[in-house]
Structure 1
Amino acid sequence: MTPARLGVLILAAGASRRFGPDDKLLHEVGGLPLAAHSARLAAALNAAATLAIIPEHAPARASLFSDNGIDTQINPHADQGQGSSLAHGIRHLSDTRVEAALILLADMPHVPLSHLTSMLARLTEGVDAVASTAGATPLPPMLFRRTAFPHLARLEGDQGGKRVFLDLPHTATVPLTPRQAIDIDTRDDMSE
């Protein structure tokens, strides 16, 4: 899969309730706001389409992504969970000519570009999707062929791409190190 045929979705609509009252995606990690790591990673791919899915009333998040050359889409139902945001983004990518969608989480700052290029290389003929793994568990980032878009567009609540990935007949995985697999949910996660 080449970036010219790829769409990238950054899921950045979560409420971050476990983090506390501050917006965790704007909290600094490694000298940058947390969400800036995924924004820069996505921008480095130079994909055909890149969208960050954000909640309503999040102008600072919108600015962060815009500053990195990434368009945003507001999910008015972001409070319904990650599945809602993923489905919302996939519906927007369905209107483009992309042949696959790479799903990134805005709270995973340690995923390297080399991991994403390995995922793209694994999406060969006959492979429906590629997931990252830490141990045996499939997790984001995830990469899906366009044929999976209708299934992803029906997700709701806290359902993520894992459910669709596990239902597909031909999949591949690319391992992450434990550090690369960290997603920041609490302030304690910031120190890892």
Structure 2
Amino acid sequence: MKTVAIYLAAGTSRRMGTDKRSLFLNGVSLGSMALKNALLSQLDHIFVITRKGDSLNWLSAFFFLYPMSNKWSQVECEQASKGQGHSIQCGLKRAVEHEADAVIILLADQPFVTTDIINTLIDSYQREHHYSFIAADNQHLPMPPILFSNQCFPVLHQLKGDQGARYVIRERILNTGKMINFQDPLLFYDVDTVEDYTLLLNKFGE
């Protein structure tokens, strides 16, 4: 089965006040951390969703080297400013063209998603592909990263505004999937504010 990722990197970093994707932790930009692990995973391809005109200067040089450069592609989403739902739809269109059996929604501001976590979602779906989704479990709530089977694609196509992957599960398909507790307290740490970034530097910075 072919599994691709939709890597959501089209946010405005409004609460941070600067492009958080370009902030560094131990020599790697925050926007590059989860993407690097995705590249090293079993994913067949990663669609990096950005706003139109994004120069990708927040990405580390690693991503432009062969053969890694063949495993991802940029998708400029003209409607990204209207909310996450539109970014997901842009990625989903490419996933369908790629004849994907499943997609994994990844967030650029979730830097501690590991290769093992991504591979666990893929392996679980390959063993139990009757599930419509497989999500990370955060206190009994589904959270990204989330794998959606292609049976969910029509529902994802209906997303509007800031409706994201969790909205689809909560409103439409909650009882048709599976959640995995990865027991990693850092998994759901997202960097939205200067305070979040400062805490990160104090705890993990060199």
Q: For residues 1-192 of structure 1, what are the structure 2 equivalents within 5 Å?
A: 5-20=2-17, 22-61=18-57, 64=60, 67=64, 69=69, 70-123=72-125, 124-166=128-170, 167-168=172-173, 169-176=175-182, 177-190=184-197, 191-192=199-200
Deviation at 1:110, TM superposition (A): 0.8
Offset of residue 91 of structure 1: 1.3
Q: Say what the alpha-carbon RMSD is for the aligned residues.
A: 1.8
Between the aligned partners of 1:58 and 1:64, the Cα distance in structure 2 is 14
SS of the equivalent of 1:149 reads helix
Letter in 2 for 1:17: R
Larger radius of gyration: 2
One-letter identity of the residue aligned with 2:3: L
Deviation at 1:63, TM superposition (A): 5.5
**Contiguous gaps of at least 5 residues in structure 2:** 201-206
Q: What TM-score comes out, normalization by structure 1 length?
A: 0.90
Aligned length in residues: 188
Report deviation, 1:46.
4.4
User: Compared with structure 1, are the counterparts of its residues 122 and 57 closer, same or farther at alpha carbon in structure 2 (3 Å cutoff)?
Assistant: same
Alignment deviations for residues 87-124 of structure 1 (CA, whole Å, 9 cap, x no partner): 11111111122100011001111112211222123221
- Native 8 Å contact 1:88 1:153 kept in 2: no
> Residues of 2 paired with 1:30 and 1:82: CA distance?
29
Question: How much does 1:125 deviate?
Answer: 3.1
Secondary structure at the counterpart of residue 144 of structure 1 = strand
Alignment identity in percent? 26
Letter of the 2:35 counterpart: A
Contact 1:134–1:178 (CA under 8 A) maintained in structure 2: no
